Amino acid sequence: MPFDRRDFFGLCLGGATTLVLGCTGEGDDEGDADACPELAGGELLATIAFVDRAQAVVGVIEGVGLDGRLALDLATVDADTLITANDDFFIRTVQPDGLDPNLAWTIRIGGLVESEVELDLAALAAMPQVTRVVLLECSGNGSARAFGLISAAEWSGVLLSTVLERVAILPEAIAVSIAGFDQHSQPSEHSIPGCSWVVRFAELAAAGAMLATHMNGELLPANHGAPVRLILPGWYGCCNPKWVDTIRLVDAGEPATAQMLEFAIRTHQTAAHELAADYAPGTMQQAAMPVRIEQWRVDGELIYRIVGILWGGSELTEALAIRFDGGEPIPVELCRPPTTNDTWTLWSYLWRPSEVGEYEITMVIEDPAIPTLRLDAGFYARQVMIPTL
């Protein structure tokens, strides 16, 4: 039951042995970055921090092991930083201290196969390589870290379908269990170890899953899964195990992993199901939020420019609107029409508040056909204090 790599969407030739995934054709290079235009003749006076940003720690690693965190400062996201630098990319779990980086790394492929196979890093490097820009968001992203557990990077590695061609899969197998090394000396205050997720064949094919060995052109950093991590485009970060060392082919009776149980609700499951086969794909639904509010003076008038991001979902949309204190939705301007759901798109809105004080800002997708559970629940709501008019 071999995988057919033709099932993986968006393959574009990027050299003799490298494929670039999710290509959008001409006019999609770095020179066309989707910068939000500045206000002509205006003067940027200040950037107004969101209330949650003032209370959260961003840009600094806190905690250890499973509780090690690094939040991206979303106020820094603009056309020049849509690809997040490795040092700034969010961290949900730092490298386990039980992992010895000096030991030779192998990935064992077993389960419902005719015979097990072990692959080392040299074997992975010899396979056709792929590159793709993909955004990841922690399913637990929230106001406690100013929503900074989200970032985008260029990942390079091998399609999981290519790796699975190395084994003969038994007919009863329906899914793949991918697990990573997760042994920490200090117990977590919030999570249990067990970095693993089970994904059905069709879901892997639809996403274009890869085993990544490089991040932004460099070898994977320690805290981002070195030497190998799963990249499952469009799925929450908890479904993308780091430090991958085990792949198993499984059938419909495979139990849900500890990580699937822990993050069931955060990945929009109806319950913490006992069987992995009962889980829906852990995909990010369409979402958006403001990341920066700029105070400008234009022709003697104070204007506040709100800059934000749009990401997630499986369909391209421009039906994005903003609301203040739960009022009527007002369409915003996308700085460039989205060409992919793999990463984020910038948007902006020119705002003239009616009075000083605190406002709540929420976003809405004005298309009932697009699922937006978190937006509907006000999950990404942000508060800002406007000091002067």
Per-residue pLDDT tens over the stretch 302-355: 999 999 999 999 999 999 999 999 999 999 999 999 999 999 999 999 999 999
- How confident is residue 39, by pLDDT bands cut at 50, 70 and 90? confident
Six token digits for residue 135 = 């955004």
DSSP symbols for 305-353: EEEEEEE-SSS----EEEEETT---EE-EESS----SSS-EEEEEEE--
Of 350, 386, 388, residue with least CA distance to 40: 350
pLDDT tops 80 at residue 24? no
Calculate the alpha carbon distances from 95 to 65, 180, 181, 328 in Å: 7, 11, 9, 45
- How confident is residue 82, by pLDDT bands cut at 50, 70 and 90? very high
Number of residues that make up the chain = 389
Q: What are phi and psi for residue 255, nearest 5 degrees?
A: -65, 150
pLDDT tops 50 at residue 47? yes
Q: What is the structure's pLDDT at 213?
A: 98
Determine what percent of the chain is predicted with pLDDT higher than 90: 83
User: What whole-number distance in Å separates Cα of residue 148 and Cα of residue 57?
Assistant: 9
User: What whole-number distance in Å separates Cα of residue 188 and Cα of residue 65?
Assistant: 7
pLDDT tops 90 at residue 60? yes
**Amino acid at site 197:** W
User: What whole-number distance in Å separates Cα of residue 321 and Cα of residue 362?
Assistant: 9
Q: What is the mean pLDDT of residues 270-276?
A: 97
Q: What is the mean pLDDT of residues 154-164?
A: 98
Q: What are phi and psi for residue 225, nearest 5 degrees?
A: 110, 10
- Which of helix, strand or coil describes residue 371? coil
- Which of helix, strand or coil describes residue 233? coil
131 against 64, higher pLDDT: 131
- How confident is residue 6, by pLDDT bands cut at 50, 70 and 90? very low
Q: What is the mean pLDDT of residues 122-147?
A: 97
Burial 226-251 (b: 16+ CB within 10 A, else e): bbbbbbbbbbbbbbbbbbbbbbbbbe
- Compute CA 376 distance to the chain's CA centroid, rounded to the nearest angstrom: 20
Calculate the alpha carbon distances from 377 to 75, 93, 142, 207, 320 in Å: 23, 27, 13, 26, 16
User: What whole-number distance in Å separates Cα of residue 57 and Cα of residue 12?
Assistant: 40
347 against 18, higher pLDDT: 347
User: What whole-number distance in Å separates Cα of residue 280 and Cα of residue 69?
Assistant: 27
The DSSP H or E segment spanning 383 is strand 382-386
Per-residue pLDDT tens over the stretch 192-207: 888 999 999 999 999 9
DSSP conformational letter for 3: -
- How confident is residue 37, by pLDDT bands cut at 50, 70 and 90? confident
Of 156, 35, 1, 169, residue with least CA distance to 86: 156
User: What whole-number distance in Å separates Cα of residue 177 and Cα of residue 53?
Assistant: 37
Q: Which of 3-17, 96-110, 119-133, 166-180 is the least confident region?
A: 3-17
Per-residue pLDDT tens over the stretch 284-302: 999 999 999 999 999 999 9
pLDDT tops 50 at residue 241? yes
Average pLDDT, the chain: 91
User: What whole-number distance in Å separates Cα of residue 331 and Cα of residue 108?
Assistant: 50
Calculate the alpha carbon distances from 327 to 79, 324, 357 in Å: 29, 5, 16
- How confident is residue 30, by pLDDT bands cut at 50, 70 and 90? very low
- How confident is residue 388, by pLDDT bands cut at 50, 70 and 90? confident
User: What whole-number distance in Å separates Cα of residue 256 and Cα of residue 276?
Assistant: 4
Residue 224 region, left (φ>0) first, then alpha (ψ -120 to 50), else beta? alpha
pLDDT tops 70 at residue 27? no
User: What whole-number distance in Å separates Cα of residue 149 and Cα of residue 31?
Assistant: 27
- How confident is residue 62, by pLDDT bands cut at 50, 70 and 90? very high
pLDDT tops 60 at residue 5? no
Calculate the alpha carbon distances from 353 to 221, 295, 357 in Å: 44, 11, 9
